Structure 1
C-alpha cells in the first residue's frame, strides 16, 4: 500500500505486525572514500545545505572519513570502497546504492554528476558476483527520480517506508522504490520547499524511535503521524538543530545512534537524556569538512542487509 494520507497511514500501520525475522539494523555497512574531494555546483542547485563559496580541504575530508569508518566498526563490519577523482563529491553512496535482503538497488539520481556514480562496476560486482545479490537497477529509468535512502527512510522491522517528495524523488520513484525494497506500506509526503532529502529531516532509530525536524515537512500533520506511529518516542529538532544535521543520524546497532560532532553538540541535555531513556548511546564523529558538501554522517553510510 502507498498512501499520502496521514490518517490512512496510521490505520494501515497499526494493522502491520512486525516481520518476525527482520533485523532492525544492518548486518554491515559500506562507505566510499573521498578522492580529490570537491563541491559539485550542479548538486548545489537544490541542496540548500551546500555553500560552494567555501574552500574545502581534501586531506582533512579523507582523514575525517577514515575516522568515521574506524568508529562505525564498533557496531558492525565496515567496507570502504575507493573514491573516484571523476566524481569528487561522491561520498554519499546511500543515495545511489542500497540493499534489501538478497537485493542491490541502484537509484536514479537527479543530477548528471551523481548519475555517473551508478556506473561503478566494482560496487555492482561486490554485491552481485561476491555476495550473490540480485540487482534492481533504476538508474536507466528516465521517467522517474529515486535517490534511495536519501529520500526514503525505512522501518526494516515492519517493512514501512517514509518517502519525502522533492526534486530528488517523485511519485514514480516512490512507487519504484516501494517495489524494489519489497515494502508493505509506503507513506509519501511533500518535503518543505527548502529541503532536498528526507534523511536530513527524519531518522528512524532501530525501528523504535524517531528524530524529527517538523519544519522540514510541508504538512506538520505528517511529522505528527510518524511520531504517533512510534508511540511518540521522538526527538523534536529546532530549525537550527536540523541545519546542524542532527536528523542525519543512523543506528547500526540496537543501542547506538551515530551522528556528527556538530550534530551531537546541537542537542540539548534533555534530548540527550531522552535518547538515553530510549536505550540509545550517542556516537559522534567530526565531519565538518565533509558536511560542506551538504550531507553528514548518515549520508555517508550504505547499509548492507
Structure 2
C-alpha cells in the first residue's frame, strides 16, 4: 500500500505485526568528512546549513571520529574514506540504504551528490563483501534520497515519506518497492524542509520523535502520534532547530542524538523516552551540524 490518504493508512498500519524484520540495524557505516566545506548546490534547499565561514574541517573530522568510536561500542561501525570533491558525502544514508539481502542506491537531486552514488568501493562492500543484491535507482530521473526522505519502521515494514524537492511521488514509489515495505504514507513537508529524517524518527518500532512544524499537514502529525502513542514525543520549535528529530535507535535501549539536541531535549520529553525504554546517548557534533545535518544523517544502517 502506498497512499496519501491518512484514514486508509491508519486503517492498515496498526494491524501490521512487528515481524517484518529486525527493528534496529546489525551494523552501521559512515563516510569521513574529507573536504568538509559548504556545498553550494545543497545549500539551495537546505535551510539548516550555515554560512561558509562557520565550517571547521578539522573540528568536524575530530567529531566524526568521536562519533565512530562511540557507535562502535554499540555495534560494528565501519567508516569509508571521504572525497574532497563530494563535501556532503558524510551523510551517506541519503545515497545508500539496505534491507534484508539487498542494498539500494538512491537518486540524489544535486549533481554534487549524484557523484557519491558512483562509488565503487561502497558498492563493492555491499555486493562482494556482504553478498547483497543491488537495487540501483541512481540512473532514473525521479529524486529519491532514501532514508533522508523515507523514515522506516523496520519492525512493521511501514514507511513515512515526506515529499520535497529531494523526493517526488514517483521516487517515493520506487523506494517503497526497493525496501519491500508493507505500507507507505506520503505527505508534503513544510516549506523550507528538505528531509523527513530531520523532523521525524521512529525508534525501534515502538516510539516516534516528531517535529510538528516540519509537516505541511498537521493531520499527518496527529496520525503518526496516534500510531505510536503513548510513546510519541512532539518536539518544540527549539528542539526542532537543535536536531532532536534527527535521532536514531541502533539497539533496543538507546537513542543517539547530537550533544546540542541532547541539551535542547526537554526533561519531560527525556522522560517519555525513558518510559519507552530508551536511554539518551549524545555526541558532540556542532561542527558537522554546520553542514545542515546531524547525527542520524551521518549513519548508514546495515540490515
Aligned residues: 303
Partner of 2:78: 79
Q: Which runs of 5+ in 2 are unaligned?
A: none
Partner of 1:112: 111
Equivalent residue runs for 1:271-290 within 5 Å: 271-290=269-288
Q: Which runs of 5+ in 1 are unaligned?
A: none
Partner of 1:5: 5
Is 1:145 aligned to 2:143, yes or no?
yes
Residues 37, 89 of structure 1: 8 Å contact kept: yes
Equivalent residue runs for 1:23-102 within 5 Å: 23-102=22-101
Residues 44, 52 of structure 1: 8 Å contact kept: no
Residues 54, 292 of structure 1: 8 Å contact kept: no
Partner of 2:211: 213
Over aligned residues, Cα RMSD in angstroms? 0.9
Q: CA deviation at 1:233?
A: 1.3
2:260 corresponds, among 259, 262, 267, to: 262
Partner of 1:164: 162
Rounded to whole Å, the distance in 2 between the matches of 1:246 and 1:118 is 28
Q: CA deviation at 1:49?
A: 0.3
Once the two structures are superposed, residues 72-113 of structure 1 have per-residue CA deviations (whole angstroms, 9 ceiling, x without a partner) of 112211000011111123110000000001111000000001
Q: CA deviation at 1:219?
A: 0.4
Partner of 1:132: 131
Q: CA deviation at 1:261?
A: 0.2
Once the two structures are superposed, residues 173-213 of structure 1 have per-residue CA deviations (whole angstroms, 9 ceiling, x without a partner) of 00000000000100000000110000010001111000000
Rounded to whole Å, the distance in 2 between the matches of 1:24 and 1:284 is 21
Rounded to whole Å, the distance in 1 between the matches of 2:244 and 2:155 is 23
Is 1:302 aligned to 2:300, yes or no?
yes
Residue 235 of structure 1 aligns to a residue in which SS? strand
Residue 113 of structure 2 aligns to a residue in which SS? helix
Q: CA deviation at 1:238?
A: 1.1
Residues 72, 78 of structure 1: 8 Å contact kept: yes
Name whichever of 126-135 and 49-58 sits farther off: 49-58
Rounded to whole Å, the distance in 1 between the matches of 2:233 and 2:156 is 21
Equivalent residue runs for 1:180-259 within 5 Å: 180-259=178-257
Partner of 1:19: 19
TM-score scaled to structure 1, two decimals?
Answer: 0.98
Q: CA deviation at 1:19?
A: 1.6
Q: CA deviation at 1:280?
A: 0.3
